[in-house]
Amino acid sequence: MEQNDQQKIVREEYAKIAQNVSTSCCGSVKSNARAASIKVGYSEDELESIPDNANMGLGCGNPTALASISEGETVLDLGSGGGMDCFLAVQKVGPSGKVIGVDMTPEMVEKARQNAVKMGHANVEFRLGEIESLPVADSLVDVIISNCVINLSMCKDQVFQEAYRVLKKGGRIMISDVMLIGELPENVVKSVSAYVGCIAGAVKKEKYLQMIADAGFSDVRIIEETKIPAELWANDPMAEKIRKETGMTKGAGKSLFDSIASVKIFAQKK
């Protein structure tokens, strides 16, 4: 799949999610988003503090919980969706700080902006753009967070180079993402639904970490690693799409999920 084709497919699918007419990689947008978010590390209090439609169950972790965000800092969210992590981050930076969300899907950006108005946050801004070419000035940001988005990029090395560019000296990243800890079947690798569902675009953990280091980051380390529950294969609507596209059975899901993990990564700009 060419990069332009990949971006078009992902943008179209996530536009549907923003409009509540599709399913996420973690389940039904309408019914399962809250349960999925709690499963990956969000608290009930955190979910109560944000607009309901900011949470679409798209994450594979809670990067704001581990990023040690401080009052007055500037935070950038790569692939901000409906603004969920941005609205949690703004509670930490306070009125003297700033939060910027970047997403390539116009429908997501519009939803996030509407949510910001509802919340009354003047220091949260959502920008339309691609994480491989961030609409953000050099050395502006203290902290970068991202939640299950970088795996969707075909140019992950460029994402990390851009992250390094926009961070201040001493700035840091805290990323939740899906990575390979085994091998995916060839038919899954070629599946469009598996790509949109945050599986086929994942790379080996060692390669992922090396791309971060190659961008110039130091102290690159895994904070937490969690196996993705295989039962998702039986219950997730996106998994059903993948099964239809690849011809895989429900029983084959266990070996598939043995090959992927949710990982939280920290790194710092020298």
* pLDDT tens string 221-237: 999 998 876 665 555 66
Nearest by Cα to 33 from 13, 15, 51: 51
Nearest-5° angle of CA 36, CA 189, CA 161?
A: 75
What is the domain partition of the chain in residue ranges? 3-182+199-228+261-269
Q: What distances in angstroms separate CA 136 from CA 55, 117, 127, one per listed residue?
A: 24, 22, 9
Residue 67 tokens read as: 């990023």
For residues 21-54, b (16+ Cβ closer than 10 Å) or e, as one string? ebbbbbbbbeebbeebbebbbbeeebbeebbebb
* pLDDT tens string 3-52: 667 678 778 877 887 877 444 444 444 446 777 788 788 888 888 888 87
Beta strands 23-24; 27-28: pairing state: antiparallel
User: Higher confidence at residue 219 or residue 44?
Assistant: 219
The pLDDT of 62-71, averaged and rounded, is 92
The pLDDT of 49-69, averaged and rounded, is 85
The pLDDT of 97-102, averaged and rounded, is 98
Q: What distances in angstroms separate CA 56 from CA 5, 36, 104, 166, 244, one per listed residue?
A: 24, 9, 16, 27, 23
pLDDT of residue 27: 43
User: Could you tell me the pLDDT band of residue 220, with boundaries at 50, 70 and 90?
Assistant: very high
Class of the domain covering 3-182+199-228+261-269: alpha beta
User: Higher confidence at residue 254 or residue 157?
Assistant: 157
Q: How far apart are CA 213 and CA 182, in angstroms?
A: 22
* pLDDT tens string 131-181: 999 999 999 999 999 999 999 999 999 999 999 999 999 999 999 999 998
User: Higher confidence at residue 227 or residue 130?
Assistant: 130
pLDDT of residue 250: 66
Q: What distances in angstroms separate CA 128 from CA 42, 78, 106, one per listed residue?
A: 26, 11, 7
Most confident of 97-101, 186-190, 251-255: 97-101
